[in-house]
Amino acid sequence: MELKGKVALITGAASGIGKSTALLFAKNGASVLLTDIDVEKGEKLAEEIKASGGKAVFVKADTSQPKDSENSVKEVLSHFGKLDIAVNNAGIGGEQLPVGEYGIESWNKVIGINLSGVFYGMRYQIPAMLKNGKASIINVASILGSVGFSNSAAYVAAKHGVVGLTKTAALEYSAKGIRINSVGPAFIRTPLLDNLDKDVLEQLVSVHPIGRLGEPEEVAELFMWLAGDRSSFATGAYYPVDGGYLAQ
């Protein structure tokens, strides 16, 4: 029960990495507020956690909308009284086109969710956390927050931005008790990969030295460490969990 007595807010919690994180945090004693645009899956997950003896509330939220991020924090304070941990996880992939052909609407949507959504989250999470004297924020970047990837301009730009935003916020708030880190997963078996055909998936496997894609539960374990007191001296850092991808 490493997170017993802690309260966590997790965005994009209805599936993939967010879902695995919510289950792991709840199993380890945290009360969790789950947000997502998928109401059916989000409510189902909250019920699953409660059926297992945990504490969970689901709130519909679109991270690209500042008011939704503000409301999520209001809801977590209303239900649980405080906020100790935030996992800013919600994200989308966007179009697969070169820069000279990339759709403006798609660009704005990816940046709005994947980058602005992280800023909006922290914008409202941090004031609530300052009242605690100690808290942890985990921003989900990607291996593509460190390197480029053809035909994914908006995603790569957004994830690079998340890494820089995380470092800046950590400089501003670490001395005030809020540790802020980013995590760079490689290609993980989540719904983001559902639309890829078999040949593309095999190609993705081949670029990971470990010889496979990652599992959401493996990423959640790193979040678990960053969320708890074992990582008390870790802040302002970027942690890949990538099967060796960035070592190449």
CATH of the domain at 197: 3.40.50.720
Asked about 120 being catalytic, the answer comes back as no
Residue 37 within a domain: yes
Contacts of 92 (CB under 8 A, 6+ apart): 109, 110, 113, 114, 192
- The structure's pTM equals 0.96
| Spatial separation of the C-alpha atoms in residues 129 and 77, rounded to whole Å | 10
Residue 2 within a domain: no
Range of the domain at 84: 7-247
Residue 85 within a domain: yes
Residue 102 within a domain: yes
Residue 1 within a domain: no
Structure tokens at 28: 């380890």
Catalytic residue among 102, 120, 124, 155: 155
Residue 142 within a domain: yes
* 35 beta partners: 11, 59
Residue 210 within a domain: yes
Instruction: Count how many domains the chain has.
Output: 1
Instruction: List per-residue pLDDT tens for the chain, 248 residues long.
Output: 999 999 999 999 999 999 999 999 999 999 999 999 999 999 999 999 999 999 999 999 999 999 999 999 999 999 999 999 999 999 999 999 999 999 999 999 999 999 999 999 999 999 999 999 899 999 999 999 999 999 999 999 999 999 999 999 999 999 999 999 999 999 998 877 777 788 888 888 999 999 999 999 999 999 999 999 999 999 999 999 999 999 99
Residue 115 within a domain: yes
